[in-house]
Structure 1
Amino acid sequence: MEGGDYDVVVVGASLAGCTAAILFARRGARVALLERRSDPEAYKVLCTHAITACAYPVLDELGLVPELEKAGAVRNEARWYTRWGWIVPKPAPGGPELPYAYNVRRSTLDPLLRSRAAATPGVDLLAGHKVTGLLQEGGRTAGVRATTPDGGERELRARLVVGADGKDSAVARLAGIPTRRHENGRFGYLAHYRNLPLPGGIGQTWFLEPDMAYSFPNDDGVTVLAVVPDKQRLPAFREDLEGAFEAFIRALPEAPPLDSAERVSKIIGMVDHPLLTREPTAPGIALVGDAALTGDPLWGTGCGWAFQTAHWLAEAVGPAAAGGGDLDRSLAAYARTHRRRLRPHQRIAVDFARSRPFNPMERLMFSAAARDEGAARHMYLFSARLIGPLGFLNPVSVARAAAVNLRHRFAPAAGRAAYREPERR
């Protein structure tokens, strides 16, 4: 290849990186997929293990859906607790089923996807390679410098370097791409339980204003239980992590019965999890997944967006990366898609990360969703990131929510659920 060893160097062989490598190779590019860890079974431990429904088309294009089903991945139905009662999204009578993707443990998903990437013609998986520098040529990035498993060093030249190396992206740091950091007023801990009974066998999320919690059933009978409290509660967790974690779970409305299950992991978490936003491109560089945008883990969007951003990049840049078009123009197209599709969601997440109760618009939409099946389906589409904030808060939907709440307000008292303020803890 003229001007380098590869068309594309992808740094990071997790969800976004493997997806990008596969899709670029299918579009005719020669791809080096670098992973700093040498173990082919390595996986991300701290994760919600949920893939939102917005990513299903990408999973389908990758050919992963049959393998995920075979591995026992759980279709991610869910219901959400609010002060107005439970929001339970259901298909419309006689209508199609709700869109879905999967809950699946990263210990299952990551090795599966990495092996699929390694077997893709045109992809060279280089395990144990850690990027230490970027090669520059004519004012743009033209490859990477990396250490090898034997302690040596090598240079890999390419038209495009893809940073798929997570929130602490070395590619972004070495390229000098600025990071906008938004503080998170909550912290989080999670643990895995086997054979934990859940109503309907589906996921549960608790909006306790401002505290949060969720339970997501996964493959092999394992359920992820997570608590995401306000940081004012942090001293109690630091003093007695296990006691505070279990006490928080047991106090939830319709709490999962911990005594009926076996905890099969440590309680792990992160006290400080800021939301990060970076420009998704620079000359010769594209960022995907958490490297470009790290959201709030309480929404469980990171895995879905990893798949989606890699797909957007390959769609926009694939031909140019393989030598068949204008690379800079293609990168600009990817950057526009990334900003348009994800920045509005990030703005809402940044605001909610201030650990506040619902604002008036959220109260309107959540209360209506607890009282009306159509409003619940509309909220489900937003939670699955199949519609954006403007679609969620379109005038027709807001008017419908207001009408639902007015009907509820003037309905006979015996015919409506009692309003109850959320418990302040």
Structure 2
Amino acid sequence: MTTPEDRTYDVVISGASVAGCTAAVLLARRGVRVALLERRSDPAAYKVLCTHYLQPCAYPVLDELGVIPALERAGAIRNEARWYTRWGWIEPKPAPGKGELPYAYNVRRSTLDPLLRDHAARTPGVDLLLGHTVTGLVRRGGRVAGVRVKTLEGEREMSARLVVGADGRDSAVGKHAELPTRTFENGRFSYFAHFRGLELRDGITHSWFLEPDMAYAMPNDDGVTIVAVIPDKKRLPAFREDLEGAFMQFVRDLPEAPGIDAAERITKITGTVNYPLHSRKPIGQGVALVGDAAVTGDPLWGVGCGWALESAQWLTEAVAPAVLGRTDPDQALAAYEKRHRRKLGGHQHLAADYAKSRPFNPFERLMFSAAARDDAMARHMHMFASRLIGPMRFLNPVALAKASAVNLRHRESPERIPVNTR
């Protein structure tokens, strides 16, 4: 009888969450033999600290995976949103006569992770191996050629033409491969909790940009709304003294705050006081990183799941022929790195700067204020916030000129104040 230990794999993936499962499915469909390793033994395990937000940029990947019908059956919510600013609400709407704006889904990881893991396990060519923890890398001739793993049965080695780290922001694969890493401090902390019966206007996501504090409330599957607060670290002492009291009061004080006291909190308040941003080199010789292992974004922006899906797709498209012996593996990995850097580098640069917990800079003030005052600028903001366009297009000269014109018109047309004739 042949066991997984006896099989030869083209790719070994460490981590069976969003990025790892996506890469496994897409690679296997191209004829690649994949070992998908997960350190946890429970197939229903899921990530707890997450925004539970799939950016619209990830919709094409979800479509390629074929999981959109299953997500909608599971109750995933299409993620329309409005954003509060000091100039008012930014409320993106479709252009007249046009179809709906791009969307993806709000869905809890307790729903998403088991769904993707099951999808991967049922894909021919994927061996899902639970309870397998990567403890080191195997090198031959200066290249990574496999992994050392610990299981309940003991330790062993697994060989592969490519090792993929899909093992999160503290990536063991990235550390064992000694891939260069840049770390950016985060001047904010975050706490969140799940509620039932929390009503939101139009039933859509609300985000509050309070400069520098931040908060959001997101409707999710099964009638659950996730409320998160992301304050400046100057507020941390109050939260440490009375977490529940500080959390609830922060939400009550939000402009047009949701009725949190009338809702039922169904989870404890969970969070982290230190969440730095990481940018790792996403490739080495015989190794590649996807998802948070390569780029750990600021949770404020809710990009983690979307970038996990996208980076897994980019890696697959670049390396599948190489791991099947048809093209040069180093060139394939270099192509993935180039695409990864081009797609995400600018976004991460801006996020790392805003993570300093500062107010908006002049460009941000210009664009956010215009988006609160003009429908076309709100749609432009939606495309950037959805990571469907990059910073260069978001802040291109034409967009800046349009934003300036919107704000100039606003200053020239103040609200008329009734004249007191008495």
TM-score of the superposition, structure 1-length normalised?
0.96
Alignment partners' CA distance in 2, 1:401 and 1:9: 48
Contact 1:39-1:127 within 8 A present in 2 as well: yes
> 1:46 matched to which residue of 2?
49
Tell me how far 1:414 sits from its aligned partner. 2.4
- Aligned-partner Cα distance in 2 for 1:359–1:27: 46
How far apart are the structure 2 equivalents of 1:306 and 1:373?
30
2:166 corresponds in structure 1 to: 164
User: After TM superposition, what 4+ stretches of structure 1 lie above 3 angstroms from structure 2?
Assistant: none
Distance 1:388 1:177 in 2: 26
Distance 2:52 2:152 in 1: 29
Q: Percent identity?
A: 70
1:226 to 197, 218, 228: 228
How far apart in 2 are the matches of 1:370 and 1:62?
36
2:358 to 356, 359, 364: 356
Instruction: Map 1:235-254 to 2 at 5 A.
Output: 235-254=237-256
Q: How does 1:127-146 map to 2 (within 5 A)?
A: 127-146=130-149
Show the counterpart of 2:69: 66
Task: Please say if residues 134 and 174 of structure 1, whose CA atoms lie closer than 8 Å, have aligned partners that are also in contact.
Answer: yes
Distance (Å, rounded) in 2 between the aligned partners of 1:412 and 1:196: 36
TM-score (norm 2): 0.97
1:324, 1:390 → 2: CA distance?
Answer: 35
Q: Does 1:24 align with 2:27?
A: yes
Q: How far off its partner does 1:137 sit? A: 0.5
Deviation at residue 405 of structure 1 after TM alignment: 0.3
Q: Map residues 84-123 of structure 1 onto 2, 5 A cutoff.
A: 84-123=87-126
Counterpart residue type for residue 157 of structure 1: S
Structure 2 Cα separation of the partners of residues 159 and 282 of structure 1 = 12
What is the aligned partner in structure 2 of residue 214 from structure 1? 216
**Structure 1 partner of 2:420:** none
SS in 2 for 1:100: coil
Give 1:327's aligned residue. Answer: 329
What is the CA-CA distance between 1:220 and the residue it aligns to?
0.2
Checking the alignment, whether the CA contact within 8 Å between 1:133 and 1:174 is kept in structure 2 is yes
The answer to whether 1:365 aligns with 2:367 is: yes
Check whether the contact 1:30–1:322 (CA below 8 A) recurs between aligned residues. Answer: no
Task: Note the residue ranges of structure 1 that are not aligned, 5 or more in a row.
Answer: 416-425
Structure 1 CA distance for aligned equivalents of residues 326 and 124 of structure 2: 19
Counterparts of 1:375-414 in structure 2 under 5 Å? 375-414=377-416
2:137 is paired with a residue whose SS is strand
Question: In the alignment, which of 244, 263, 282 is matched to residue 261 of structure 1?
Answer: 263
Match of 1:421 in 2: none
Take 2:176 and 2:239, find their aligned partners in 1: how far apart are those partners?
36
1: distance between equivalents of 2:159 and 2:376? 53
Rounded to whole Å, the distance in 1 between the matches of 2:152 and 2:190 is 34
Letter in 2 for 1:118: A
Q: Which amino acid aligns with 1:172?
A: G
CA distance in 2, matches of 1:154, 1:73: 40
In structure 1, how many angstroms separate the alpha carbons of the residues matched to 2:141 and 2:134? Answer: 21
Q: Residue in 2 aligned with 1:419?
A: none
How far apart, in 1, do the equivalents of 2:47 and 2:350 lie?
26
Q: Partners of 2:226 and 2:181 in 1: how far apart?
A: 30
The amino acid of 1:338's aligned partner reads H
Q: Distance in 2 between matches of 1:5 and 1:141?
A: 15
Question: Deviation string for 1:200-256 (max 9, x for gaps)?
Answer: 000000000000000111000001100000000000000000000000000000101
Deviation at 1:179, TM superposition (A): 1.6
The question of whether the paired residues in 2 share the 8 Å contact of 1:197 and 1:260 is answered with no
Distance 1:22 1:184 in 2: 34
String of CA shifts for 1:307-339, please: whole Å, max 9, x gaps.
Answer: 000000000111111222111100000000000
SS at 1:204 equivalent: strand
- Structure 1, 174-183 or 112-121: larger mean CA deviation: 174-183
Backbone CA RMSD of aligned residues: 1.1
Residue 156 of structure 1 and its aligned partner are, at CA, apart by 0.7
